[in-house]
A and B are shown apart, each in its own frame.
Chain A
């Protein structure tokens, strides 16, 4: 399996033009999406790395696609800024390009949106070897088709990203987290939906399926508040009072110490809860589908982020989820483990096929 390691965008078009089948990988933090057979040419973008421009006063930065998300996060942190959607698997080396191509937002997705809501521009190489740009480098831009958004979730099947530009936000100076336990998932989900319609500003709203009932607890809400430190104690107290008054909360735990609080979310966004050797599968769904979906799962470890809009399920292999996903008309993206096949039911392929014809008619980057 030939492996090419471009160091500049200009290195990529000749590789694409000469190879019959091309696949792209970054740091390999999602092995299910970056493992192929011997017949393909692999474009390894890990050396196509580095921040190109960062203007804190403009809330924008651009970088080569192979830049580790952690490197970007560190640069932003120096200016009190961040990517609010919490790129996933950052400690495992996830790159910016991989984060975009796999569309992986962590718990911070809840408040301001996901990868799609912060990407501003892309530079990419299509199946014909054309090096093209779309979008821009300013926080607001409506010129031309929004290909930057299109590339979010594109899995390297329409082109190889070589540069990405993002909008960033000031990072809240302080955070606090409330963990609220419930007797069953239904109660936790109702509480999450109820909270979602209140004016509480939540940076994160996750539902942890505890799996087996431990001490009468089957599910736990993890609610993250962020903002000025002066206001946080009062906001936290108010939130706790609200949950006590309006939801059947069993127990509450406050994470107010910075280390514990940040450690909790780093573990979540690093997917530390996934048992070793198991495949992590991402399943987007509506909050209203969570209960039905959860009932159909077996003993799988799982977690729901973005207020119940994304399920994260650990499974011995992704295919074991196929029947559940088919039945619920959902789709799953395996991230870790051996198989990279999308499981379940996909939609919108009529439009995707047409774009594929425009960008990669020969199918060099694999199927749609």
Chain B
């Protein structure tokens, strides 16, 4: 329960219609895209101005009340899962594009602005905002900042962090500061504070105003779709493309289950019977892309694909991407529940990694669909389970944990773009030594001594080397969070 004193002061800051406390109102905010968990916040506020956000943060700091900033709630790692009896600061109404400057190629936006709407606003000027997470039509830029979101085009253009010039932020203790500058060289002198803030998973504070850089839209896209009878051959094709010295804008793969799901959901018209699909997209200046295509074609032709298609127009390209980007939700049609993993392996290990995932899938008797950014070695196994079946979620989590262990053993990472959040906290100590985590914790505590900002995310509880992966989640055991 939030204290009477806190609630009284909160009610002075927010009118009743933007201060939600009734259970029916709070239910909407109990979960995010990691649907396996939910927790009921004590209250939700809907700020309409920066000043209201700052006031709420200061009040939380003063009363030591934990808060979670939330955009569209699309976090796949439970990053925007509320804190039981804490405050949710929902930023959706701060959704203005404050300024778009085509000459300087930048846009100044509020945190609740939807990712795709920046590119839409920039389109008349021939510009685009490059990071394109699959959820780009709903996810907010504030959430992208907190979790350093990726997308299909990270290999060439980097993640969210590579596209942020300046941030006005309120730190967890209520201090407001500006990081970076309008210069492409950002901070330029002194440590890269924008770089530190982006991807800090909401543990440092809230971004109030964001300056993003825009890029010219590529003149030409060439999107090739290649179908394979087995995953391993497709994996070799990725290696061949990489070895060619070309730098495609995207190299993506899907396996049989993901293809079937995408086909059923959006009728992408993918080649029938494929065990693996490879999408390679070249983009850039027309002359250059034409020559690159001439170099790429023989590589794909020799890669063992049984069908190769080149998108003939924008419509066909859009259809190919629609299937790929819609694959997550499409898999939802195959199974009542699923867990999405986000591990990274060195891409030369893609073949063995996929084989191991198949073995684990058989061992745990759970279907796994694979959709992934092959160019980055960023896997997205979707582990399908039925939450109604006793023990199924625990088996899914155990399988997910083994995949993450494999990623670490291969020298990769437990997360490429979804963040650690709630979901992978237990795995962070397997990737980093105790001293590495101690340094990160010290930074967190200097910025947020009361740990009010997104408390409980990223860091493992305590230093226990072996977190339980079976049975109840530790917070669940304490009755703090529960499952749907």
Residues of A within 8 A of B (CB): 55, 57-60, 80, 103, 105, 109-110, 112-114, 116-117, 126, 130-134, 136-155, 157-158, 169-170, 173, 193, 196-201, 227-228, 230-231, 234-235, 238, 282-289, 306-307, 309-310, 331-333, 342, 346-352, 354-355, 357-359, 368
Contacts and interface: CB of A to CB of B under 8 A. Distances in A.
Contacts of B440: 134, 144-145, 147
Given A114-B185, A141-B416, A286-B181, A234 B287 contact: yes
B175 interface: yes
A227 B288 contact: yes
A142 B342 CA distance: 10
A37 to B, nearest CB: 22
Given A134-B432, A147-B439, A342-B189, 14 more contacts: A103-B185, A134-B440, A138-B376, A139-B377, A142-B418, A152-B195, A193-B104, A230-B291, A231-B290, A284-B183, A349-B177, A354-B447, A355-B443, A358-B442
B376 A139 contact: yes
Contacts of A137: 346, 411
A361 to B, nearest CB: 9
A297 B191 CA distance: 27
Contacts of A110: 184
A84 to B, nearest CB: 10
B216 A141 contact: no
A352 B185 contact: no
B68 interface: no
Contact of B193 (A103, A228, A332, A352): A352
Given A284-B183, A310-B183, A133 B195 contact: no
A148 B439 CA distance: 13
B196 interface: yes
Contact of A57 (B284, B295, B348): B348
B250 to A, nearest CB: 13
A334 B436 CA distance: 32
A42 B150 CA distance: 40
Closest 8 CB pairs of A and B: A149-B195, A284-B188, A309-B184, A199-B219, A286-B182, A284-B185, A358-B442, A141-B413
A142 B150 contact: yes
Contact of B190 (A60, A154, A196, A230): A154
B26 interface: no
A283 B442 CA distance: 32
A140 B102 contact: no
B154 interface: yes
B275 to A, nearest CB: 24
Contacts of B171: 350-351, 354
B314 to A, nearest CB: 15
Contacts of B418: 142
A145 B189 contact: no
B247 A169 contact: yes
Nearest to A285: B183
A139 B155 contact: yes
Interface string B283-295: 0110110111011
Given A134-B439, A286-B183, A350-B175, A199 B415 contact: no
22 contacts: A57-B348, A132-B433, A138-B411, A140-B417, A141-B415, A142-B415, A143-B432, A153-B188, A193-B104, A197-B125, A199-B285, A227-B285, A231-B287, A284-B184, A284-B189, A285-B181, A285-B183, A287-B104, A288-B103, A331-B190, A332-B189, A351-B177
Given A130-B439, A132-B439, A199-B126, A346 B190 contact: yes
B229 to A, nearest CB: 24
B260 interface: no
Interface in B106-130: 125-127
Contacts of B378: 140
Contact of B428 (A143, A150, A198): A143
B423 to A, nearest CB: 12
Given A143-B428, A197-B127, A355-B191, A238 B184 contact: no
A130 B193 contact: no
Contacts of A173: 245
Contacts of B180: 348
Nearest to B77: A142
Contacts of A152: 191-192, 195
B158 interface: yes
A344 to B, nearest CB: 8
A226 to B, nearest CB: 9
A136 B412 contact: yes
B285 A201 contact: yes
A110 to B, nearest CB: 8
Interface residues of B, number: 103
B199 A142 contact: yes
A153 B187 contact: yes
Contacts of B458: 144
B181 A347 contact: yes
B161 interface: yes
Given A197-B127, A306-B184, A348-B180, A282 B245 contact: no
A113 to B, nearest CB: 6
Given A142-B419, A351-B171, A358 B446 contact: yes
A363 to B, nearest CB: 14
B16 interface: no
Contacts of B376: 138-140
A142 B191 contact: no
B239 interface: yes
A198 to B, nearest CB: 6
B304 interface: no
A139 B157 CA distance: 12
Interface string B302-331: 000000000000000000000000000000
B435 interface: yes
Given A57-B347, A358-B443, A144 B181 contact: no
Contact of B417 (A60, A142, A170): A142
A348 B185 contact: no
A357 B412 CA distance: 31
A274 B419 CA distance: 44
Contacts of B189: 103, 153, 282, 284, 331-333, 342, 346
Q: Which of B125, B419, B432 has the most CB of A within 10 A?
A: B432
B287 A235 contact: yes
Contact of B126 (A114, A117, A197, A349): A197
B1 interface: no
A130 B440 CA distance: 12
A284 B181 contact: yes
B243 to A, nearest CB: 6
B54 interface: no
Contacts of A55: 346, 348
Interface string B247-265: 1000000000000000000
A359 B443 contact: yes
